[in-house]
């Protein structure tokens, strides 16, 4: 037999032996480590999927296979200056320049506290964490650090802490544009408003929701937790000519000012610019009501401007998204639904912070600098 024949025979033998081999693995399609290439089961099938990374927030020690669901805390920073002239009148101001912009607080405000027992507490209400895509975050932990000049560094503080609690007592007013410019899309807008009500009440059934609908007329439904009542009212809203935007926002603010809730939010939707409010009601007038609220609980203002036939005034709506609120400008009716859904999470998820220290006397001229690292997860 010549060399060529021998080579052919050897190749055939090798090919034949390789073809006899079968890949082994898990052949059960319901297993989390199913191997679609396996031809022979090797008893390696695993069935519990989850996060297998111990450093992740949702680590599952019982999981056999990683299913790609691992979530990791994102840390946001909040800086304050603290002083207490007499030991019983604690005060803080915020350092907006160094704080994470995602932490939504009125950074221009000073917050006064009270003495309780041997402690000095400062309450900061209606705090949200919202990123530049208007995604809301759920707080998982807050760690306090105090600047130590003797160390020239931040030192973790385990005695003076920032406590936090999710606000359950909420009042929300939806200000809804019912102008003719929405045309046939208005029926879809009402569906989105009803979904918003449903999702808010699923989170907290005690939340009070009010409605202000506007065109040339302004109509209202007072604050209520009755979902059927709210749904029936929204379904019955009728369209009209013109846009009394600022006057309607004023009505919503008045409704919220009459509430004693721990958290207050105004959500305004429009597809146009104001062309029918009385001369008194301007964007500056509404803004002044929001930012100079004399009440202890400020109103968080969220705005939605649908880029439709009416033509929204983007800078005005961005300015009126005040006190930790946000503004969104969907391009079409489909995107509008996503915005309503996103804001339902942001509005329902709000916190009260309480900074707790002892009654040590600290002069205003010798303020203490404090940093808080806020660990949170997108909600």
Q: What is the pLDDT of residues 9-60, one digit of tens each?
A: 555 555 544 444 578 899 999 999 999 989 889 999 999 999 999 888 788 9
Give 170-215 pLDDT, tens digit per residue: 999 999 999 999 999 999 999 999 999 999 999 889 999 999 999 9
Confidence (pLDDT) at 108: 73
Which one is the CATH code of 170-347: 3.10.290.10, 2.60.120.680, 3.40.50.410, 3.30.200.20? 3.40.50.410
Q: What percent of the chain has pLDDT over 90?
A: 73
What pLDDT was estimated at residue 105?
83
Show me where the domains of the chain are located.
22-72, 74-167+352-378, 170-347
Per-residue pLDDT of 280-317, as tens digits, reads: 999 999 999 998 876 667 899 999 999 866 589 999 99
Write down the pLDDT at residue 17.
47
pLDDT surpasses 70 at 8: no
- 3-class DSSP string for the chain: CCHHHHHHHHHHHHHHHHHHCCCEECCCCCCCCCCCCCCEECCCCCCCEEECCCCCCCECCCCCEECCCCCCCEEEEEEEEEEECCCCCCEEEECCCCCCCCEECCCCCEEECEEECCEEEEEEEEEEEECCCCCEEEEEEEEEEEEECCCCEEEEECCCEEEEEECCCEEEEEEEECEHHHHHHHHHHHHHHHHHHHHHHHHCCCCEEEEEEECCCEEEEEEECCHHHHHHHHHCCCCECCCCHHHHHHHHHHHHHCCCCCEEEEEEEECCCCCCCCCCCCHHHHHHHHHCCCCCCCEEEEEEECCCCCCCCHHHHHHHCCCCCCEECCCCHHHHHHHHHHHHHHHHCCEEEEEEEECCCECHHHCEEEEEEEEEEEC
């Amino acid at each position: 037999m010549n060399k060529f024949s021998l080579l052919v025979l050897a190749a055939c033998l090798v090919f034949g032996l390789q073809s006899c081999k079968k890949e082994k693995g898990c052949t059960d399609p319901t297993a989390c480590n199913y191997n679609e290439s396996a031809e022979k089961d090797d008893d390696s099938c695993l069935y519990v999927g989850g996060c297998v990374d111990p450093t992740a927030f949702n680590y599952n020690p019982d999981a056999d296979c990683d299913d790609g669901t691992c979530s990791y805390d994102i840390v946001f920073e909040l800086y304050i200056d603290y002083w207490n002239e007499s030991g019983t009148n604690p005060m803080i101001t915020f350092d907006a320049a160094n704080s994470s912009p995602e932490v939504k607080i009125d950074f221009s405000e000073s917050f006064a506290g009270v003495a309780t027992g041997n402690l000095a507490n400062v309450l900061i209400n209606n705090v949200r964490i919202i990123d530049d895509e208007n995604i809301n975050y759920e707080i998982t932990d807050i760690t306090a650090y105090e600047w130590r000049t003797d160390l020239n560094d931040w030192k973790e503080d385990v005695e003076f802490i920032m406590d936090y609690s999710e606000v359950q007592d909420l009042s929300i007013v939806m200000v809804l544009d019912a102008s003719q410019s929405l045309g046939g899309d208005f029926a879809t807008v009402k569906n989105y408003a009803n979904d918003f009500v449903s999702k808010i009440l699923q989170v907290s059934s005690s939340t009070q929701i009010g409605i202000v609908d506007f065109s040339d007329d302004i109509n209202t439904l007072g604050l209520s937790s009755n979902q059927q009542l709210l749904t029936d009212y929204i379904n019955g809203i009728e369209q009209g000519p013109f846009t009394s935007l600022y006057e309607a926002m004023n009505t919503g603010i008045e409704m919220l000012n009459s509430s004693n809730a721990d958290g207050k939010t105004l959500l305004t939707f429009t597809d146009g610019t104001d062309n029918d409010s009385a001369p008194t009601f301007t964007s500056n007038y509404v803004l002044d009501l929001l930012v100079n609220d004399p009440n202890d609980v400020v109103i968080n203002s969220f705005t939605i401007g649908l880029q439709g036939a009416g033509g929204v005034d983007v800078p005005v709506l961005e300015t009126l998204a005040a006190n930790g609120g946000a503004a969104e400008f969907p391009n079409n009716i489909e995107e509008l639904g996503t915005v309503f859904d996103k804001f339902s999470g942001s509005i329902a998820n709000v916190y009260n912070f309480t900074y707790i220290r002892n009654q040590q006397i600290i002069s205003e001229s010798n303020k203490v600098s404090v940093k808080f690292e806020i660990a949170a997860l997108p909600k």
